[in-house]
Structure 1
Amino acid sequence: MSTAVQAGAHAPAAGPEPITEPGIHDMTNEEYHSHKYALSSSGARALIDSCPAIFRYEQDHEQPAKKVWDIGNAAHKLVLGNGPKLRKIDHETWNTNVAKAAVLKAREAGEIPLKPAEYQMVHDMADALRRHPVASLLFDPERGTPERSLFWRDDKTGVMRRARLDWLPNPRTGRLIIPDYKTCRSAKPEKLEKAIEEFGYHQQDDTYRSGCHALGIADADAAFVFVCQEKTAPYVITVIEVNAAARRIGAARNRRALETFARCTETGYWPGYSDDVVPVALPGYAETRDTLEYL
């Protein structure tokens, strides 16, 4: 029998007053993520890549901060000009009690703790971006506003959706280009093809386009691009746009997630991987090997 989570199970913390009307909001990242009744791009990916029960549990239980997120969050702060304060912890290793206390104090204050080399690295990354001929224009402080939260209602399911734009360009004539900043291991285009699938960038593309269209920010021909920057010197940058085929797949995945979210919310039943007895085979390689050996 599949594990299922009933609505309200595990006593999730009370959230903020729900946003029921479409709109663009200026709020902190923490405030944005507290609106868990509205489905985000990352939530849509979790619903269909894992299962509703795991999605619901993770939504109802605050996830601890991970060190791996610090570099990306710090780079976002410097590139976008908005976000938590960066705190340089003057210890090369954090395995002493003094260093651990400093890191804990920074996190409790809502700051991002960084080792000296990391602190220098994210500043160098931001400097490299400002020298890039395209990325520097996309994130020009005179041409847009950082981190705006979008809320809108899906027409087909009635589900409230949400997205947090890294950058909202100022209205202008011509085609609107909406950028999103990503840090990555490799900005080589062939590697970024794998990142699109691994991290669901095509679903994020569809979600953000849908929100911008629903709120009248951009029309159908608006461009949504990812500014991808490597986390090792010389901090190479590649600006990519997901192609039409990937966008169609992203939209289809989002549609399935929205239907699943709507059904589970209505019934209060968040199933696991299956409610049926599932026949399971040996891995293909093992079946081939052992068939030759034993059968």
Structure 2
Amino acid sequence: MTTTVEIEASAEVEPGVYDDVAPEIYHSDPVPGGSLSSTGARKLATECPAAFKHWLDNPEPSKKEFDFGTAAHKVVLGDGPELILVDRDIWNTNEVKETVKKIRAAGNIPLKQRDLDKVHAMAEALRAHPEAAELLEPGSGIAERTIIWNDRGVWRRIRIDWARHDGTLVDYKSCRSANPSKLANHLFEYGYHQQQEYYRDGALEFGLTELVCPFKFIFQEKEAPYLVSVIELDAAATAIGRHLNEVALNTYAICRDNDEWPGYLQTPLISPPAWLERQYR
């Protein structure tokens, strides 16, 4: 099922692929009774249920780095909230604070001139990268596709950066370093192996991809010269991501059904880390 009808926060939601879901509607969760996003699944798999529930009930306020990342997505992918220039170097006056507040309340992104110039320079650098430019070629796919589905009694939702018509799924991320030799720790620390498989599940559910189709991450540095890397995860990373998603789905279902979100479980015995144990062998 694919629809372009905008989801309203109070409406009943059917499983399907939606192409016009406003970001604020998606992030506030349009599914009555709640759904599990990729971000939520990553928190459940690596933190305790109590921490997840607190995060769910206390949405993080907008931060400058979030604004910049969203702005980069807008310029690179051609879809997203409007970017509004706030042409002031200092944003701590009451006048500017009120202006910024109104811009965000309207679902748009306030930016200083230097940040607006930077995201446009990033987009230009990305278009000069042959593989990244080909993956995100206009007309080759659809940006910000929202997928909502029910998986064994758990509603799940995802928002794919770029779903190509050939089945390739693409996720774009701005970062400090796009050096492939330094990305491994970053990838697994932020659970991108989980994100990949979570997104793939939704795309497979509605025939937008196939198991043989690749999933590509595009990493781009936020400082000049805005270097780009395109990477894929190997089979071991994929398997770990799928396992952690199953852990998250099962944990979510049990905690939701019992309305209990426990903290850390007691560990009766803790061993020394390997580096310490080696010193005393």
How far apart, CA to CA, are the structure 1 residues paired with 2:270 and 2:146?
Answer: 45
Amino acid at match of 1:116: Q
2:25 aligns to what?
A: 31
Once the two structures are TM-superposed, the CA of residue 138 in structure 1 deviates from its matched residue by 1.3
Secondary structure in 2 matching 1:83? coil
How far apart, CA to CA, are the structure 1 residues paired with 2:164 and 2:270?
Answer: 52
Amino acid at match of 2:150: R
Once the two structures are TM-superposed, the CA of residue 58 in structure 1 deviates from its matched residue by 2.1
Output aligned runs, 1:60-75, within 5 Å: 60-75=57-72
Superposed CA deviations along residues 204-245 of structure 1, whole A, max 9, x for unmatched, are 111111111121111110101111100000100000111111
Matched, 1:162 2:153: no
Once the two structures are TM-superposed, the CA of residue 283 in structure 1 deviates from its matched residue by 8.3
2:161, 2:171 within 8 Å by CA — same for their partners in 1? yes
1:152, 1:215 within 8 Å by CA — same for their partners in 2? no
1:220 aligns to what?
A: 211
1:247 aligns to what?
A: 238
Q: TM-score, normalised by structure 1?
A: 0.83
Superposed CA deviations along residues 241-291 of structure 1, whole A, max 9, x for unmatched, are 1111111111111110000011111111111112x5x5587987xx99xxx
User: Which of 195, 198, 207 in structure 2 is aligned with 1:204?
Assistant: 195
Structure 1 residues 35 and 280: CA distance shift in structure 2, 3 A = farther
2:24, 2:107 within 8 Å by CA — same for their partners in 1? no
How far apart, CA to CA, are the structure 2 residues paired with 1:91 and 1:103?
Answer: 11
Secondary structure in 2 matching 1:270? coil
How far apart, CA to CA, are the structure 2 residues paired with 1:43 and 1:185?
Answer: 24
Once the two structures are TM-superposed, the CA of residue 121 in structure 1 deviates from its matched residue by 0.3
Gaps of 5+ in 2: 1-8
Secondary structure in 1 matching 2:169? strand
Structure 1 residues 271 and 35: CA distance shift in structure 2, 3 A = farther
User: Which of 24, 47, 52 in structure 2 is aligned with 1:50?
Assistant: 47
1:150, 1:163 within 8 Å by CA — same for their partners in 2? yes
Amino acid at match of 1:35: P
2:262 aligns to what?
A: 271
Amino acid at match of 1:25: Y
Once the two structures are TM-superposed, the CA of residue 164 in structure 1 deviates from its matched residue by 0.6
2:120 aligns to what?
A: 123
How far apart, CA to CA, are the structure 1 residues paired with 2:95 and 2:211?
Answer: 54
How far apart, CA to CA, are the structure 2 residues paired with 1:264 and 1:20?
Answer: 24
Identity of aligned residues (%): 45
Matched, 1:112 2:143: no
How far apart, CA to CA, are the structure 2 residues paired with 1:16 and 1:48?
Answer: 29
How far apart, CA to CA, are the structure 2 residues paired with 1:194 and 1:134?
Answer: 23
How far apart, CA to CA, are the structure 2 residues paired with 1:20 and 1:232?
Answer: 42
Superposed CA deviations along residues 52-91 of structure 1, whole A, max 9, x for unmatched, are 1221222233331111211110000011111111112112
Aligned-pair Cα RMSD in Å: 2.3
2:6 aligns to what?
A: none
Based on CA coordinates, which of the two structures has the bigger radius of gyration? 1
Amino acid at match of 1:61: N
Secondary structure in 2 matching 1:141? coil
How far apart, CA to CA, are the structure 2 residues paired with 1:39 and 1:31?
Answer: 14
How far apart, CA to CA, are the structure 1 residues paired with 2:139 and 2:193?
Answer: 28
1:153, 1:159 within 8 Å by CA — same for their partners in 2? yes
How far apart, CA to CA, are the structure 2 residues paired with 1:281 and 1:189?
Answer: 34
1:138 aligns to what?
A: 135
1:260 aligns to what?
A: 251
2:154, 2:253 within 8 Å by CA — same for their partners in 1? yes
Gaps of 5+ in 1: 1-14, 289-295
Higher relative contact order (CA 8 A, sep 6+): 1
Amino acid at match of 2:210: D
2:80 aligns to what?
A: 83
Q: TM-score, normalised by structure 2?
A: 0.87
Once the two structures are TM-superposed, the CA of residue 35 in structure 1 deviates from its matched residue by 3.2
